[in-house]
């Protein structure tokens, strides 16, 4: 089985992506490293522990960065709930977080699974940037790196130009995108092209499983927010990245391009600038997911929710 390490900031769509990973027999989850992002670190860690508990998954959970590298950034509690899981007041998880810092765990696990590791980043890239600063050889040991982030034609979701994960910590994203020789990217614009009808999601959530029942509860608030703001379709960004990670054959269109992170600018901070014409002289090191088989994507989600 392929060793899988997920860096995440749960987060309602992170939770759906994690359910997909928990349900995949081809991958072995070796750890969850947690950052602040959607909400503060105390919540993202607690949410990860709780989700593992509900699902009977014993993968270790490591706490990492509580803030971006340089500049404080507002969270997304207005989307995911103040606690990141819809403020449903779930019972405290019985399990505890590991003592090791997430950045150190990433490095250790990269050695233990050198050349085989699938690394998936579903939140701001702070933990991975810290790991890279401690040991710049990290990319040599990662077999594949999948990132959810960016808005490749600058139609962002947090500013007009930028997507949340990159905007939250642009300096970290810059470090990470400069360091890895190759990144598979699921950006916000691909997410918008792969929404689900709200009624359909409701139907999936009726599955007779503890996972579906828990997910129904924690996602209700954000689905209502989304229906109000974004119309008929619900968009689960991290779930698309996870589909690309777990089942890359479902990708039907991928474009290889050079990509840079904008750090400055009054309007552009956190934007992902793609050299679409390929004339900038930089190597095309990012494989941008443009289209994924929608039926296959929905099948992965339904199966993850229905799993016992």
Q: Strand 259-261 and strand 251-257: pairing?
A: unpaired
Give the ranges where 251-307 is alpha helix by DSSP (H). Answer: 294-306
182 noted as active-site residue:
no
Least Å distance between CB 71 and ligand BDR? 17
Near ligand BDR in 142-181, by CB under 6 A: 148, 157, 163-165
205 binds, among Ca ion, ligand BDR, none (CB under 5 to 8 A by kind): none
What's the CA dihedral at 4, 9, 14, 17 to 10 degrees? 0
Triad 207, 96, 60: Cα angle to 5°: 70
Helix (H) / strand (E) containing 186: strand 183-186
Query: Which distant-in-sequence residues (6+ apart) come within 8 Å of 199 by Cβ?
Result: none
Closer Cβ to Ca ion, 207 or 237, answer by number = 237
Closer Cβ to ligand BDR, 192 or 284, answer by number = 192
Check 182, 198, 233, 235 and give the catalytic one: 235
Near ligand BDR in 193-222, by CB under 6 A: none
Cα separation, 168 vs 66, whole angstroms: 12
Candidate ranges 6-14, 49-57, 95-103, 296-304; the one touching ligand BDR (CB under 6 A):
6-14
Least Å distance between CB 177 and Ca ion? 17
**Residue of 11, 93, 149, 156 that binds Ca ion (CB under 5 A):** 11
Least Å distance between CB 282 and ligand BDR? 24
Does the protein bind Ca ion through residue 123 (CB under 5 A)?
A: yes
Contacts with ligand BDR, 231-250, as mask; x by CB under 6 A: ------xx------------
Closer Cβ to ligand BDR, 38 or 287, answer by number = 38
Least Å distance between CB 279 and Ca ion? 33
Cα separation, 179 vs 35, whole angstroms: 19
Q: Assign 3-state DSSP to the chain and report helix, strand, coil percentages, each to 5.
A: 40, 20, 40
**Residue of 16, 54, 76, 179 that binds ligand BDR (CB under 6 A):** 76
Cα separation, 262 vs 94, whole angstroms: 42
Query: Which distant-in-sequence residues (6+ apart) come within 8 Å of 168 by Cβ?
Result: 37, 68, 73, 75, 123, 124, 158, 270
**Residue of 35, 61, 122, 261 that binds Ca ion (CB under 5 A):** 122
What does the binding site for Ca ion look like in residue numbers (CB under 5 A)? Answer: 9, 11, 14, 122-123, 238
The catalytic site residues sit at 235
């Amino acid at each position: 089985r392929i060793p899988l390490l997920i860096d995440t900031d749960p987060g309602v769509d992170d939770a759906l992506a994690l359910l997909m990973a928990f349900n995949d027999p081809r991958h072995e989850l070796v750890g969850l490293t947690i950052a602040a992002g959607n909400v503060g670190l105390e919540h993202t860690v607690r949410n990860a522990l709780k989700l593992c508990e509900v699902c009977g998954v014993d993968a270790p959970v490591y706490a990492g960065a509580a803030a971006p590298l340089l500049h404080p950034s507002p969270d997304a509690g207005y989307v995911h709930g103040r606690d990141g899981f819809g403020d449903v007041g779930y019972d405290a998880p019985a399990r505890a977080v590991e003592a090791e810092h997430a950045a150190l765990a990433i490095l250790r696990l990269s050695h233990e699974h050198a050349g085989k590791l699938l690394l998936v980043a579903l939140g701001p890239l702070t933990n991975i940037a810290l790991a890279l600063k401690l040991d710049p050889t990290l990319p040599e040991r990662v077999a594949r790196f999948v990132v959810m982030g960016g808005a490749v034609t600058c139609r962002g979701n947090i500013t007009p130009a930028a997507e949340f994960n990159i905007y939250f910590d642009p300096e970290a994203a810059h470090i990470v995108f400069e360091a890895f020789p190759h990144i598979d990217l699921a950006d916000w614009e691909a997410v918008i092209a792969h929404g689900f009808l709200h009624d359909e999601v409701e139907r999936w959530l009726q599955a007779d499983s503890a996972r579906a029942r828990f997910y129904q509860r924690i996602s209700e608030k954000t689905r209502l927010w989304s229906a109000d703001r974004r119309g008929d379709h619900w968009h689960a960004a991290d779930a698309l990245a996870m589909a690309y990670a777990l089942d890359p054959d479902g990708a039907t269109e991928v474009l290889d391009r050079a990509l840079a992170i904008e750090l400055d600018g009054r309007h552009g901070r956190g934007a992902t600038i793609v050299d679409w014409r390929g004339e900038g002289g930089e190597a095309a090191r990012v494989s941008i997911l443009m289209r994924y088989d929608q039926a296959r994507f929905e099948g992965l989600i339904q199966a993850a929710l229905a799993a016992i």
